[in-house]
Chains A and B, each alone.
Chain A
Amino acid sequence: MENLALVAVVAIALAFDFTNGFHDAANSIATVVATRVLTPRLAVVWAAAFNFIAFLILKTHVAAAIAKDVVHSDVLSIGVVFAGLLGAIAWNLVTYYLGLPSSSSHALVGGMVGAGVAKAGLSAVISDGLSKIAVFIVLSPLIGLALAFIFMVVILQISARVHNVELLNRGFRKLQLVSAAAYSLGHGGNDAQKTMGLIFALLIATHKISANAGVPLWVVLAAHTAIAAGTLTGGWRVVHTLGSRITRLQPHGGVAAESAAAATIFFVTAHGIPVSTTHTITGSIVGVGSIQRLSAVRWGVAGRVVWAWILTIPGAALVAAASYGLLKVF
């Protein structure tokens, strides 16, 4: 019976990864579509491919952090992970329906915290681990914004010395393929690892593997396959919001935004910190927009996005806690 429940929750975790694909991963291609470097169809295939191969480059520190640093491992059970996932998936679907680029990562962390607290009270939460995640919720878009701004300054300085505008634009369009690929690598590395972390936690909780073991290869491959499949199915509302409604982008702006976001995500992934890739790319796009003037950024849309971010952890936590309560009743 326990094995059956384990398989079912692993399947739901992979379904979450898939929803992350169509909800969050589409952000990888927002700038490359907005600048018309690739058609939406090609951009999706490009992003999915680099989402998938991320496991060859990035280590699984983020997965370990999700499994061991959010909720105490003795609190974790199949029921807690299941309720946490329900909270995160429900929140993702609501924000997807509303076309808001909220964070699947924060939904997942909120879901795990809500289910853990519902089971064992506030002591279930590892405050150090949670505060590290909370700090980088704010820092990652700030880093992305500053880097994108600095990259733009450098790019504009170089561009001022080149007189053939057509040649310059062609160069940046090619460069954007590289920066979009780098961003998709970072996105695949950080986001797929959250699902890996959940499955890893489940395997530890059910004593299938030791807490000191590494993440099994089948878990790594399954998580990357699910997120790549999710990316392939799209998420065009969110692409539209990020790619064209926050600020209008040119190819050189796309290069700056994606490079800045990729650098930020590579850094946090190397330090085992789960962040919102949506936050990071949004911060970077705002950084590019603010190079000219702040009015180039459509703050109404950006503000709506911020509200979605603020509400995500408590919203997903509440749904997860309610789900755990219902599970206990039945």
Chain B
Amino acid sequence: MDRRAIFFLGAAAAAALLIPATEEGLRWVPIWVAVIYVVLAVASWLDWRSSHR
């Protein structure tokens, strides 16, 4: 189990939860943060999987 990927997904979820609470002009910030954390989670999982094969 890749705990780092889970941590990054948790961070993505936290950022996504903040999207509706963010004022419109800055809403792109939590959106991008959430997207980046999802990408990091996938990359981390791929890295973990390759090292555990």
Contacts and interface: CB of A to CB of B under 8 A. Distances in A.
B22 to A, nearest CB: 5
A140 B23 CA distance: 15
B14 A142 contact: yes
A145 B7 CA distance: 12
A2 interface: no
A263 interface: no
A27 to B, nearest CB: 21
Contact of A142 (B21, B22, B26, B33): B33
Interface majority SS (helix, strand, loop, mixed), chain A: helix
Interface string A106-146: 00000000000000000000001001101100110011011
B29 A139 contact: yes
B42 interface: no
Contacts of B29: 139, 143
Interface residues of B, number: 17
Nearest to A143: B33
Contact of B37 (A128, A146, A271): A146
B7 A142 contact: no
Contacts of A135: 18, 21-22, 30
A134 B30 CA distance: 13
Interface in B35-51: 36-37, 40
B4 A145 contact: no
B14 to A, nearest CB: 6
B23 A132 contact: yes
Q: Size class of A's contact patch?
A: 10 to 19
Contacts of B21: 131, 134-135
Interface string B1-35: 00110010001001100100111001001100100
A21 B23 CA distance: 31
A134 to B, nearest CB: 8
Nearest to A128: B23
Contacts of A138: 14-15, 18
Contacts of B11: 142, 145-146
Contacts of B7: 290, 294
B4 A294 contact: yes
Contacts of A293: 4
A215 B25 CA distance: 25
Given A142-B33, A290-B7, A149 B40 contact: yes
A282 to B, nearest CB: 14
Contacts of B36: 146, 150
B12 to A, nearest CB: 9
A285 to B, nearest CB: 15
Nearest to A291: B4
Contacts of B15: 138-139, 142
A145 B4 CA distance: 13
Contact of B40 (A132, A146, A294): A146
18 contacts: A128-B23, A131-B21, A132-B22, A134-B21, A135-B21, A135-B30, A139-B18, A139-B29, A142-B33, A143-B29, A145-B11, A146-B36, A146-B37, A146-B40, A150-B40, A271-B26, A290-B4, A294-B3
Given A132-B22, A135-B30, 14 more contacts: A131-B23, A135-B18, A135-B22, A139-B29, A142-B14, A143-B29, A145-B11, A146-B11, A146-B33, A146-B36, A149-B40, A150-B40, A290-B4, A294-B3
4 tightest CB-CB pairs across the interface, nearest first? A294-B3, A135-B22, A135-B18, A294-B4
